Amino acid sequence: MKHAGKYNRLYIHVPFCEAKCHYCAFYSIPDANDRLKDEYLKRLEMDFIAEARNCNELKSIYIGGGTPTVLGAERLKSLFYLIKTNFNISRNPEISIECNPETVDNERASIISGFANRVSMGAQSFNPRLREYLGRRGSVENIYSAFAMLMEKGIKNIGIDLIYAIPGQKYREWAEDLRMAAELGVKHISAYSLSIEEGSLLAVEKNAVKVSEELSADMWALTGDLLEDSGYKRYEISNYALPGFECMHNLEIWYGDTYLGCGPAASSYDGIKRWTHSPNINRWLDWKGTEQDIIEAEKRAGEIFIMGLRTVNGWDRNTFMERTGFDFMQWEDKFAPLKASGHLVYNNSSVSLPENGILLWDEISENFI
Ligand code: SF4
């Protein structure tokens, strides 16, 4: 396998948030104290020192969470310094950081612009009623002011996350959110259907019931149509970008590239094995709880195959062979009925899902794992 052993990309999970959103099922610690944040950075540094030699020149870095900007200005500076001094970074890397708008101020925007060139903001909705339902902090004004501050500091590549299929959300309210996002001038929009996760406040306290699949599918179709009118193209089930502003870090990982993950709950993949740090910060700080997940090459090829099918372009046969060592035509007997029902398109050199297939990605992918 081509990449075995060396990581091309770096992911850092910052597990802190100001408070827990009602729908959240990610690993994040609300209201962590300064001592814990300092211990987190120290442990991260040890990981960087231990793992840097296992990395090629990094082509992309993605700092996600949680809410990385909750680290505050000084710790953000330290984090960037630790990355710069421990890793070799390629000449034109894509460096992304996630933030919540209400945690961006002039100082943080300036520090971010000194290191990152792409910011992904968790906006989720421009509608105050729906924001409250989701338990989002901050206000719609924070979205506009964070965007302006980041732009002013020279970050031109800004994206936002939005959520649809929220119980009680009207079709026209979703259209309005999309319109406001496009008018803001962001380069990238991730639009996720709300999933009501077991254990989240929405499930436990609000007894939330998921909206019908039909309405959710209609909202997904509307997303593609409305954003296309504003120049955005869907390039993955939930991701839309102006041409040239696709998130390369995520795209390459969907296409099976290697990545090092640092921080609690972060996964790594070196081309042969995948492993995940403990999702519990105390176990992670004690160096306990790493799970190795060594998968047979063919099974891993199946996983990489279905991840690539999430993208609108799907797979080129040569690229798939180069990345996995397998030929996707080995699954031709599974392709044929999907092609007959109009849910998959393939020929001798490529395979992809048409729009009605992408929407059924969950079910279709079961054929290949
Ligand atoms: S900001 Fe994101 S990670 Fe933090 S609680 Fe909200 S949804 Fe979860």
Name every residue whose Cβ is closer than 8 Å to that of residue 169 and which is 6 or more positions away in sequence.
127, 130, 211
User: From CA 45, how far away is CA 263, in angstroms rounded?
Assistant: 10
CATH number for position 206? 3.20.20.70
pLDDT in the model for residue 289: 76
Q: Is 309 in the same domain as 185?
A: no
- The encoded tokens of residue 307 equal 């991840």
Residue 269 domain-assigned (yes or no): no
Q: Is 34 in the same domain as 137?
A: yes
Q: Is 133 in the same domain as 206?
A: yes
Q: Is 184 in the same domain as 72?
A: yes
**Ligand 1 pocket mutation, candidates 28, 69, 104, criterion most atoms within 8 A of CB:** 28
Q: Is 74 in the same domain as 140?
A: yes
Residue 80 domain-assigned (yes or no): yes
Residue 200 domain-assigned (yes or no): yes
User: From CA 288, how far away is CA 300, in angstroms rounded?
Assistant: 25
User: From CA 11, how far away is CA 94, in angstroms rounded?
Assistant: 12
Q: Which of 253, 268, 289 is the last residue of a domain?
A: 253
**Contact between 328 and 315 (Cβ < 8 Å):** yes
Q: Which of 190, 225, 253 is the last residue of a domain?
A: 253
Q: Is 169 in the same domain as 105?
A: yes
What secondary structure does DSSP assign to 123-167, as a single string?
Answer: EE-S-HHHHHHHT--S-HHHHHHHHHHHHHTT---EEEEEEE--T
Write the pLDDT tens digit of every residue in 274-287.
Answer: 899 999 999 999 98
For ligand 1, atom 5, name the residue with the nearest CA: 20
Residue 288 domain-assigned (yes or no): no
Q: Is 217 in the same domain as 337?
A: no
For ligand 1, atom 8, name the residue with the nearest CA: 24
Is there an atom of ligand 1 within 6 Å of 26 CB?
yes
Residue 337 domain-assigned (yes or no): yes
Residue 62's domain comprises 7-253
**Contact between 99 and 69 (Cβ < 8 Å):** yes
Q: Is 168 in the same domain as 23?
A: yes
Q: 27 CA distance to ligand 1 centroid (A)? A: 8
Residue 262 domain-assigned (yes or no): no
Q: Which of 253, 287, 322 is the last residue of a domain?
A: 253
More confident residue, 97 or 290: 97
Write the pLDDT tens digit of every residue in 319-356.
Answer: 999 999 999 999 999 999 999 999 999 999 999 999 98
Q: Is 343 in the same domain as 243?
A: no
CATH number for position 337? 1.10.10.920
Is there an atom of ligand 1 within 6 Å of 122 CB?
yes
Is there an atom of ligand 1 within 6 Å of 28 CB?
yes
Out of 1-15, 191-205, 270-284, pick the least confident. Answer: 1-15
Closest CA to 278 of 70, 13, 21: 13
**How does residue 2 score in pLDDT terms, banded at 50, 70 and 90?**
very low
Residue 85 domain-assigned (yes or no): yes
Ligand 1 atom with least separation from CA of 19:
5
Q: Is 233 in the same domain as 347?
A: no
User: From CA 79, how far away is CA 214, in angstroms rounded?
Assistant: 44
pLDDT in the model for residue 4: 58
Q: 67 CA distance to ligand 1 centroid (A)? A: 7
Q: Count structural domains, the chain.
A: 2
User: From CA 166, how far away is CA 168, in angstroms rounded?
Assistant: 6
Write the pLDDT tens digit of every residue in 112-149.
Answer: 999 999 999 999 999 999 999 999 999 999 999 999 99
Residue 264 domain-assigned (yes or no): no
For ligand 1, atom 3, name the residue with the nearest CA: 66
Q: Is 57 in the same domain as 171?
A: yes
* Statement: residue 1 has pLDDT above 50: no
Average pLDDT taken over every residue of the chain: 94
